[in-house]
Amino acid sequence: MGTIRLLDEHIANQIAAGEVVERPSSVVKELVENSIDAGSARIDVTIEEGGLQLIRVSDNGSGMEADDCEIAFQRHATSKIATSKDLFSIRTLGFRGEALPSIASVSKLECVTSSENNGLGRSIVIEGGTVRKVEETAAPRGTDIMVKELFYNTPARLKYMKTIQTELGHISDYMYRLALAHPGIAFSLKHNGNLLLQTLGNGDLLQVIAAIYGTAAGKQMLQVQAESLDYRLAGYIAKPELTRANRGGISMLVNGRYVRNFALNQALLQGYHTLLPINRFPVAVLQIEMDPALVDVNVHPAKLEVRFSKESELLQLVESEIKRLLGRQVLIPNAGKGSGDKGAYVQEQMEMERPAPADASASVSIKETAVPYKSETESRKTMPGPVQTEPVQPASAQTAPAQSPRADSAWQSPGARFAESILPGSANKPTLRQQKAAAGNFMDLLSRQDQTDRAQMPAFPQLLPIGQMHGTYLIAQNEDGLFLIDQHAAHERINYEYFFERFGNPTEASQELLVPITLEFTPSEAAVIQEKLALIEQVGVYMEAFGGNTFLMRAHPHWFPKGEEKAIAEEMCEWILSEKKGVDIARLREKSAILCSCRASIKANQSISLLEMEALIDRLAGCRNPYTCPHGRPIVVSFSTYELEKMFKRVM
Ligand SMILES: Nc1ncnc2c1ncn2[C@@H]1O[C@H](COP(=O)(O)OP(=O)(O)OP(=O)(O)O)[C@@H](O)[C@H]1O
Ligand SMILES: [Mg+2]
């Protein structure tokens, strides 16, 4: 006699339960999904003790006929598919006929259901998979399922349950996703008598978002609506100022099903691109609709993952739509209204740039009047005096012909230095002062440089600088209110867009070095770099092995920030070495632009004149994205005139 036998249904169900019912939240998910599939308009969920004592889901859906009620708890019993062909056109959330028998095998379950409007229904009691009682009972149309003492007969599983709060966290998380996926259904969730979620079921997704993430968040959302040949996209995404510390605020809903999909999340984040601070994530709810034939939902035990057959088309749609949407917005966070995340921004900002001003008089240059600054003589008044401790100037600035030494040290020195940095790569061109003489007007010159950029720019407000605070923040105004601009972030953004453009065609700009620059690596690093030399050449950096673990950089684009060439090449290589997933030219180009812009930008705690402020704001306004630096930190915050008036109680 052989030793292989068929398992009885009871054990088979318990084994299936191991996959389907991982924790209380899985029960909630399966039961609520059944209620959704039954066409319910309202679904009420009651939980006790994190779901380990009680999970009750009652709905007003189709209910089950008396005869079906018992069958529903048998393995592979489903009303949702009939033939294998149906597997390719699934429009329901369930289809395997596994959930109810699995849940019933690891709990004490009671189900009351009626498919009629005559007040009569069926009740069934099952304990650990064994049917204890089936009887007729009074019941309204719909289904009411109570799951008590989950895992009472599987102590090993019970042991793995975390605290009540953790389990409840998982449950509410699922409930949020299901409510977001079905704004047309009125959901409620109660835990130990406390109402945790209630949605109206009026089809308004924004109301559901507000119910979950708060009304303030609801006001920060942008509506998404887009279509491609095969996909339809709807939903809401948050403006970049509303961020969270993890991806939990992202909900991808595919044909009404919440799914986890790394590539989709990445496409969304790519859409935000440099708008988000590092390690911050948006709130986003994307409802993606498609022909069910295009998505395989049968690839994960809990149906939480899916596979798309035209994935790249979908990813492209998501990314481009998010980019388009964000590109159209004026994204200046309002400093007056708290948005939860301000603290995080401010915190990060302070950690980044915390220069203690050595001398208050030298670092503050706020003009008393709001009259926009124009004359050069006046600009001298706001200069903090001689600046001997500044970093080395570009050679061309030092050799600029001086007319009047006094006027020069007051105006030209920092001005030219800043202008050099605001127009990176201009070291080989005439100094700004010379350009100014030639072109007549400094501002004209800057604005002419920008004309091409400006064509694509979103509406950035016109701002007039009033002054500077702590050598770090520019203060500006217009009729709408007061604006603070982080000068380093602004400069970084300007430089980033400049360098990004330049890295589009860097090889032509490469210049051979008279003295090559040496770079040292560890043996394993050197091996990787050796393989990447061809890639690195595509950003205009030519390196060759020089024996051992040493490489020589023989050429780099001439517009690399002066004095920073070695550091940039090193950081570029470090980045390539640290990227586990591999590097392509697009990402290397972007990273290189960020490295260069970072190194070329004025730092905080540097006083600049009003003219320079105007130039900076002007250049910023010409950027494709003038709102965040390449690391995603905000550049501008605003206080509306109305808010200021409220603060000073001029209006009530
Ligand atoms: N709340 C409900 N209202 C009406 N019918 C229900 C309800 N819950 C379950 N059913 C019926 O019971 C059947 C079995 O449910 P079960 O969840 O076990 O399987 P399924 O939903 O078909 O597939 P899956 O295992 O993928 O969830 C369903 O196909 C449905 O006909
Ligand atoms: Mg089901």
| pLDDT, tens only, 173-221 | 999 999 999 999 999 999 999 998 999 999 999 999 998 888 888 888 9
Residue 28 · residue 122 · CB < 8 Å? no
Per-residue model confidence (pLDDT) at position 186? 97
Q: 373-381 long-range CB contacts below 8 Å, 24 or more apart?
A: 373/465, 373/609, 373/610, 373/611, 373/614, 376/411, 376/611, 378/610, 379/411, 379/609, 379/610, 379/611, 380/407, 380/410, 380/411, 380/609
Name the token pair of 373.
């600054």
Q: Give 514-533 pLDDT, tens digit per residue.
A: 889 999 888 778 888 988 99
Which of 9, 30, 78, 299 has most ligand 1 atoms within 8 Å of its beta carbon, as the pocket-test mutant? Answer: 78
Name the token pair of 227.
């279509």
Q: Is the Cβ atom of 144 under 6 angstroms away from ligand 1?
A: no
State yes or no: pLDDT of 457 exceeds 60: no
> What would the DSSP string read from start to end of 601-647?
SPPSS----HHHHHHHHHHHHTSS--SB-TTS-BSEEEEEHHHHHHH
Per-residue model confidence (pLDDT) at position 342? 36
Per-residue model confidence (pLDDT) at position 444? 34
Q: Is the Cβ atom of 431 under 6 angstroms away from ligand 1?
A: no
Name the token pair of 148.
């008590």
Mean pLDDT of 564-575: 90
Per-residue model confidence (pLDDT) at position 88? 84
262 CA distance to ligand 2 centroid (A)?
Answer: 25
Phi/psi of residue 87, nearest 5 degrees: -60, -20
Q: Is the Cβ atom of 98 under 6 angstroms away from ligand 1?
A: yes
State yes or no: pLDDT of 552 exceeds 70: yes
Pick the range with the lowest mean pLDDT from 262-271, 437-446, 560-569: 437-446
Residue 435 · residue 422 · CB < 8 Å? no
Q: Is the Cβ atom of 257 under 6 angstroms away from ligand 1?
A: no
For residue 298, how far is the Cα from the chain centroid?
28
State yes or no: pLDDT of 369 exceeds 90: no
Nearest residue (CA) to ligand 1, atom 31:
79
Name the token pair of 77.
């019993």
Q: What is the DSSP letter of 295?
A: E
Q: Which helix (H) or strand (E) holds 415?
A: helix 413-422
Q: Which helix (H) or strand (E) holds 474?
A: strand 473-478
Q: Give 21-30 pLDDT, tens digit per residue.
A: 999 999 999 9
Q: Give 621-632 pLDDT, tens digit per residue.
A: 988 888 888 888
Q: Is the Cβ atom of 607 under 6 angstroms away from ligand 1?
A: no
Nearest residue (CA) to ligand 1, atom 9:
34
Per-residue model confidence (pLDDT) at position 373? 26
**Residue of 144, 211, 164, 156 lying closest to 25 (CA atoms):** 164
Q: How confident is the model at residue 352 (pLDDT cuts 50, 70, 90)?
A: very low
How many H helices and E strands in the chain? 24, 25
Residue 404 · residue 435 · CB < 8 Å? no
Nearest residue (CA) to ligand 1, atom 19:
97
Q: Give 584-601 pLDDT, tens digit per residue.
A: 888 899 899 998 988 888
**Residue of 127, 192, 164, 128 lying closest to 23 (CA atoms):** 164
Of the chain, the percentage scoring pLDDT greater than 70 comes to: 80
State yes or no: pLDDT of 58 exceeds 70: yes
- Single-letter amino acid code for the residue at 53: Q
What is the number of alpha carbons within 13 Å of residue 347 lying toward its C-beta? 7
Helix, strand, coil abundance in the chain, percent, nearest 5: 40, 20, 35
Q: What is the mean pLDDT of the chain?
A: 79
Q: Is the Cβ atom of 63 under 6 angstroms away from ligand 1?
A: yes
Q: Give 85-114 pLDDT, tens digit per residue.
A: 888 889 999 999 999 999 999 999 999 999
Which of 58, 100, 111, 178 has most ligand 1 atoms within 8 Å of its beta carbon, as the pocket-test mutant? Answer: 100
State yes or no: pLDDT of 420 exceeds 70: no
- Output 66 or 412, whichever has higher pLDDT: 66
Q: Is the Cβ atom of 96 under 6 angstroms away from ligand 1?
A: yes
Q: What is the DSSP letter of 381?
A: H
Starting from the CA of residue 95, give the closest ligand.
1
Atom of ligand 1 nearest to the CA of 34: 8
Angle between helices 413-422 and 487-502 (to 10 degrees): 50
Q: How far apart are the first and last CA of the chain?
A: 91
Q: Is the Cβ atom of 80 under 6 angstroms away from ligand 1?
A: yes
What is the number of alpha carbons within 13 Å of residue 324 lying toward its C-beta? 10
Distance between CA 126 and CA 147 in Å, rounded? 10
Distance between CA 423 and CA 602 in Å, rounded? 12
Starting from the CA of residue 78, give the closest ligand.
1
Q: What is the DSSP letter of 292?
A: G
Per-residue model confidence (pLDDT) at position 202? 95
Mean pLDDT of 128-140: 95
Nearest residue (CA) to ligand 1, atom 29:
78
Of the chain, the percentage scoring pLDDT greater than 90 comes to: 43
Mean pLDDT of 386-395: 30
Q: What is the DSSP letter of 143?
A: E
Per-residue model confidence (pLDDT) at position 465? 93
Distance between CA 245 and CA 487 in Å, rounded? 26
Give the contacts of 74 (CB within 8 A, at least 6 positions apart): 9, 97, 101
Which of 20, 33, 37, 55 has most ligand 1 atoms within 8 Å of its beta carbon, as the pocket-test mutant? Answer: 37
Q: Is the Cβ atom of 254 under 6 angstroms away from ligand 1?
A: no
Q: Is the Cβ atom of 141 under 6 angstroms away from ligand 1?
A: no
Distance between CA 223 and CA 234 in Å, rounded? 8
Q: What residues form DSSP beta bridges with 634?
A: 628
State yes or no: pLDDT of 578 exceeds 50: yes
Q: What is the DSSP letter of 461?
A: P
Name the token pair of 493.
């953004």
Per-residue model confidence (pLDDT) at position 527? 82
Polymer length in residues for the chain: 652
Residue 109, SS3 per DSSP: strand
Q: Give 458-508 pLDDT, tens digit per residue.
A: 578 899 999 999 888 999 999 889 999 999 899 999 999 989 888 888 777
Per-residue model confidence (pLDDT) at position 371? 28
Name the token pair of 410.
């007051």
